[in-house]
Structure 1
Amino acid sequence: MLNVATQYAIQGTTAKGIAASVERGVTEGELAPGDALPPVRRLADELGVSPGTVATAYKELRGRGLVVTRGRGGTVVAEAPSVASRRPPRVPEGLVDLASGLPDPAFLPVLRPPAEVRPVYGSHRAAPRLAALEELTRAWFRRDGVPAERVTFAHGALDCVARILSVELRPGDAVAVEDPGFHHLLDLVPALGLRTVPVAVDGEGVTPDALRAALRAGVRAVVLSPRAQTPTGASFSAARRDELGALLGGFPDVLVVEDHYFAGFDGPPVPTLGALGPARWAQVRTVSKRLGVDLRWAGLAGDEVTLARHDGRMLMTSGWISHLLQETVVGLLSDPEVIRLVARGEAAYAERRGALIGALGARGVRAAGAEGLNVWVPVRDESAVVNGLRTHGWWVAAGARFRIAAPPAVRITAATLLPEAAERLAADFAGVLGDAQATYGG
């Protein structure tokens, strides 16, 4: 059943004015997801404009991801309007926060910016990247077999992906994204005026059947994660990587973007599509989960055309990544003690995820989370579980933020959850599920 927007009066005498009025209503919360906009002819009569003017306004809003059209159901505000990212609700006071998706600060290094930075004449546009960080970045990619003759930098994964998609695609083009997936990416794609095509994920990442269907449907780009996929923790096996690579080989014009946000600094190589050298590809690696959220830096490898277009757009806007930041990252990546600290963190995260998954499994609750910081737990009613756990002092994330067509679930950040606490949480979780089953009739 649609919600009818009866309180907000849309205004405007031009298509742009009407579209701006609707956007204002969404931004200010007067128009909520699912609210129905007036039919074209009725709004045209109310505003004293032609139906074509209203239709043009609605078309612009659809192209920007603010509204969707549901046939006879009319035009409604999108579930995740692209004027703002789907921010998590505030953690209620007194609850244990297991919804953040953030690492344990105990395994993050203390950031020490360089003690001395000489002033420069002019800008860094002629030499935007520090040679020392370029070499460290190349080595980081090469450890996983990713070609790294050409690398560049960005302000983070989303900054990088947004720039690549905006220079490569045109409004209305389709992009395949993981479902469930990274919630900020699910908001970013429609915000760029692009269409989102969800592809299913299992324990080894994107499924071949789902990717095949998306490619045949005409997607122009694919964005996926080779390791610790958000929110399920899935990671490519070598076999899955090869199967996906073979599929993509039949579509050489499709841009393949890998968000390798959880790339390690040590350990065995991780299978990635970048190592197969697709015709059009880019892989972005960030350090915020390993070294701290203040390090808004990303390394990017890819084909020559993609990197050139990325850098061309960047030079026209922000220009370069702060050399202060680059010097800081060089120092951290060159510090053996920092690398050991990160390795201890990864071992702790594996232990904590395993403890929670095991404790839930012992109570008949299935959960996923092979790698990363989170555990993904399928449920029937997200709200019932979130609110039920809240009464026991736990705060977890409803899965609706992370999915499009995927079944409901909740995401639990296990990064700071010690094994003894995992037992208590699992017992409470099973109890909440039992209460919900009794309440909703099994």
Structure 2
Amino acid sequence: MATQYEIIGASAKGIAASVEQGVVEGALAPGTALPPVRRLAERLSVSPGTVATAYKELRRRGIVVTHGRGGTVVAPTPAVASRRPPPVPERVRDLAGGHPDAAFLPALLPTARLSPGVRSHRAQPRLAGLEDLARAWYERDGVPAEHLTFAHGALDCVARLLSVELRPGDAVAMEDPGYHHLLDLVPALGLRTVPVAVDEEGIRPDALRAALRSGARALICSPRGQNPYGGWFSAGRRDALLGVLGEAASEVLVIEDDHVADVAGVPLHSLTTGGLARWAQVRTVSKHLGTDLRWGALACDRTTLARHDGRMVLTSGWVSHVLQETVARLVTDPETQGLVAAARSAYARRREALLAELSARGVAAHGASGMNVWVPV
């Protein structure tokens, strides 16, 4: 229970603001238990309903979570505070970040001019040359690319898709274990997460079926290079999952995050090829071209494209054309493509070597694709 920070307020808005301030200042750390509703109501001389309304608003905004009889606690990563990785001791290598090896990242190829000149960015948000390259990138792996757009990376894209498709309180089926930033993002949008167990072939059909029956309106998954378990969809697993999705009573938006498309080291068996009504696949270049290149491509159905771009026009408007030109030059540079091929082989060798060494020491780790190895602790 919070004993070092005193929550104040005479209204639901005031109480919520006081808790938020404590979280921002660090006085209410993640996991800190808030006072029970009735106890705080008595101390503040307000009705229990007022405190309950404040806590509900804080939950909606991803600042606190409620664990039934376990009470209300500050969220592991509150939406008003950013997560900072713990310091790494000397002589210890941090393997948790998921960053690419800098030795395989190309030197940036700057555009000819700092600004590409005057053009109507809203009328032409995507450079035609990069759009053609992105379409070929998807079609190489059999992903339908008739409807395609750009975003500022995978999380930016997923956040926009969920915000236009779902409403606070809706449920999203998510991999368990899953990518921690996505697990933080969904409750920050006021949505509920429904865990879906994974194995080395990705999400399990029985777990997906249970999530859909519980009311999940969207599914976020990785077809390969799953973070952190390292699984990837086999053709059989893909077909089984499509069968489960076909059983769903209501339309489900399926979002695939193929973030390691060029260095996963395994072929793609995508749900997007299964004739789904609502689907999207987002790809980024941060793992094979550079972590600071915040550019992503999105292939999707016609409705999803319209909703995504409609919201984007009202916010950032477009992805920087300078950034687009930089990406286009890199993906057409032969030397860069050689580095990407070397990275793909090296990551596979390193993953297999680590798994072998762990197994020799009696540690049953997992990892079948991409840059991740899951070690139970």
What's the TM-score, normalizing by structure 1? 0.82
User: Does the residue aligned with 1:36 lie in a helix, a strand or coil?
Assistant: coil
Deviation larger for 289-298 or 34-43: 34-43
Tell me how far 1:73 sits from its aligned partner: 3.1
Residue 205 of structure 1 is matched in structure 2 by 202
1:8-407 to 2 correspondences below 5 Å = 8-116=5-113, 120-121=117-118, 123-251=120-248, 253-264=251-262, 269-379=267-377
Contact 2:174–2:219 (CA under 8 A) maintained in structure 1: yes
Cα offset for 1:118? 5.7
Name the stretch that deviates more: 336-345 or 172-181: 336-345
What is the aligned residue count?
Answer: 376
Distance (Å, rounded) in 2 between the aligned partners of 1:305 and 1:331: 31
2:334 maps to a residue whose letter is P
The answer as to whether partners of 2:265 and 2:348 remain within 8 angstroms in 1 is no
CA shift in 2, pair 1:291/1:33, >3 Å: same
For structure 1, list consecutive stretches of 5 or more residues without a partner in the other structure: 380-442
Structure 1 CA distance, aligned partners of 2:363 and 2:265?
A: 31
Question: CA shift at 1:11, angstroms?
Answer: 1.4
Aligned residue identity for 1:199: V
The answer to whether the 8 Å contact 1:189/1:195 transfers is yes
Letter in 2 for 1:355: A
Q: Give a deviation string over 1:124-180, Cα, whole Å, max 9, x none.
A: 011000000111111111111111011000000000000000010000100011111
Answer with 312-321 or 241-250: which moved more: 241-250
- Using the size of structure 2 for normalisation, the TM-score is 0.95
Q: CA RMSD in A?
A: 1.8
Q: Distance in 1 between matches of 2:356 and 2:122?
A: 52
- How much does 1:282 deviate? 0.6
Q: Give the secondary-structure state (helix, strand or coil) at the position aligned to 1:220.
A: strand
Task: State the secondary structure of the residue aligned to 2:373.
Answer: strand
Partner amino acid, structure 2, of 1:337: E
Shift of 1:116: 2.5
SS at match of 2:240: helix
Asked if the contact 1:241–1:271 (Cα under 8 Å) also holds between the matched residues in 2, the reply is: yes
In structure 2, the CA distance between the partners of 1:72 and 1:369, relative to structure 1 (3 Å rule), is closer
Aligned amino acid, residue 354 of structure 1: E
8 Å Cα contact 1:85-1:184 kept in structure 2? no
> Percent identical across equivalent pairs?
70
